[in-house]
């Protein structure tokens, strides 16, 4: 049973990698289309990033530099675990700096720093089908995509407006890719949607449990669905980051006490740290300096 310890480079066997690469190539060729692939059991649970891990394992090479984030942060437990996994089975260099990474695997966020040509962003996707909660059947949703029949989605968004006065989708906000397929951007906050549009980086999406891979190649149109009289808009925060003073970034709310005290800090920890190193200071940083 000692043989159990011998795993191939990046865990997956070469046959499996080839199968996944074929799916990725097809996905890149048809932007936004969900390509079925034969997802494998991975040594972490389904729903914890197995799709992203399989995509990363198939594209990673010894010279790659890997960054893994969860909720924008490099130090959340699952990001730590996935990074450690690749450091172990592929012995690749890892980093927390967005600029240094060649592959960035992410759950729920796109880094604040603009991605560049040559970088690959790998998303972990729980439910790849944007129509799933409107129509639970795969057999039906496949037909709807094939016929470009997205009326149901527009009706849903319209009903939101009728009921709440606005589109009440705040994350996993549906987008249309290159004017053809409606796609789920994974549960990133809609704040990040504009970053996908004509990005210079290749964006790959892996859904392990649901056996789907899809892609947005560089310089592809990614448009958030909306109406002329209710245009798409992203979240705006009233305060800058309390640590680095950044504005126009996505913030996490941190509860400070049980009397309603709270503060807002950058969700992208790397972005926040780099700014602070560069001398930017937020409200809280100033207090600290004063103390």
Partner 1 sequence: MYVAVKGGEAAIANAHRLLADRRRGDRSVPALRLDQIVEQLGLAVDRAMGEGSLYDRELAALALLQARGDLIEAIFLVRAYRTTLPRFGYSEPIDTGAMKIERRISATFKDLPGGQMLGPTFDYTHRLLDPSIVGEDAEVPAVREAEDEQAPRVTDLLGRQGLIEPDGEAGEDHEVGDLTREPLDFPLDRDLRLQALARGDEGFLLALGYSTQRGYGRTHPFVGEIRIGEVEVEFDIPELGFAVSLGRVRVTECQMVNQFKGSAKIPPQFTRGYGLVFGQAERKAMAMSLVDRALRAKEFGEDITAPAQDEEFVISHSDNVQATGFVEHLKLPHYVDFQAELDLIRRMRAEHEARAEQQEATE
Q: Do strands 175-177 and 181-183 pair parallel, antiparallel, or not at all (unpaired)?
A: antiparallel
Is 49 one of the annotated active-site residues of the chain? Answer: no
**Nearest CA-CA partner of 62 in 24, 9, 125:** 9
Positions in the binding site for partner 1 (CB under 8 A):
1, 4, 7-8, 11, 13, 36-43, 45-48, 50, 70-73, 75-81, 84, 107-109, 126, 137-139, 164-165, 168, 170-172, 187-191, 209, 211-212, 235, 242-243, 250-254, 256, 263, 265, 267, 269, 284
| Catalytic one of 51, 52, 208, 241 | 241
* Residues 6+ positions from 233 with CB-CB distance below 8 Å: none
Dihedral sign, Cα of residue 76, residue 80, residue 83, residue 86? negative
Residue 222 CB, nearest approach to partner 1 (Å): 18
CB-wise, 187 or 194, nearer to partner 1? 187
Is 118 one of the annotated active-site residues of the chain? Answer: no
CB-wise, 63 or 231, nearer to partner 1? 231
Phi, psi (deg, nearest 5) at residue 27: -65, -40
CB-wise, 107 or 145, nearer to partner 1? 107
Distance CA 86, CA 64 (A): 11
Is 285 one of the annotated active-site residues of the chain? Answer: no
| Catalytic one of 51, 244, 245, 282 | 244
Distance CA 249, CA 251 (A): 6
Is 206 one of the annotated active-site residues of the chain? Answer: no
Distance CA 216, CA 24 (A): 10
| Catalytic one of 32, 72, 206, 282 | 32
Residue 228 CB, nearest approach to partner 1 (Å): 22
CB-wise, 202 or 272, nearer to partner 1? 272
* Residues 6+ positions from 271 with CB-CB distance below 8 Å: 98, 111, 112, 113, 244, 246, 249
Q: Enumerate the active-site residues.
A: 32, 241, 244, 266, 272
């Amino acid at each position: 049973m000692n043989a159990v310890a011998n795993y191939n480079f990046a865990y997956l066997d070469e046959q499996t990698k080839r199968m996944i690469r074929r799916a990725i190539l097809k996905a890149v060729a048809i932007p936004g289309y969900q390509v079925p692939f034969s997802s494998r059991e991975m040594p972490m649970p389904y729903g914890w990033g197995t799709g992203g891990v399989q995509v990363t394992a198939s594209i990673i090479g010894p010279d790659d530099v890997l960054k893994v984030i969860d909720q924008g942060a490099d130090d959340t437990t699952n990001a730590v675990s996935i990074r450690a996994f690749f450091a172990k089975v592929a012995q690749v260099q890892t980093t927390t700096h967005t600029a240094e990474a060649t592959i960035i695997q992410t759950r729920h966020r796109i880094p604040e720093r603009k991605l560049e040509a040559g970088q690959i962003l790998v998303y972990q996707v729980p439910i790849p089908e944007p129509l799933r909660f409107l129509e639970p059947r795969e057999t039906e949703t496949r037909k709807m995509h094939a016929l470009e029949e997205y009326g149901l989605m527009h009706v849903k968004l319209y009903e939101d407006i009728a009921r709440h006065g606005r589109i009440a989708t705040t994350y996993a906000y549906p987008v249309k890719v290159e004017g053809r397929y409606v796609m789920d951007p994974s549960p990133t906050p809609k704040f990040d949607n504009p970053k996908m549009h004509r990005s210079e980086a290749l964006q790959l999406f892996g859904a392990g449990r649901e056996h789907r891979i899809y892609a947005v190649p560089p310089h592809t149109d990614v448009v958030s669905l909306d109406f002329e009289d209710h245009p798409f808009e992203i979240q705006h925060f009233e305060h800058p980051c309390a640590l680095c003073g950044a504005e126009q970034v996505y913030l996490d709310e941190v509860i400070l006490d049980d009397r309603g005290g709270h503060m807002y800090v950058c969700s992208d920890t790397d972005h926040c740290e780099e700014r602070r190193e560069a001398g930017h200071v937020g409200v809280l940083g100033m207090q600290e300096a004063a103390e």
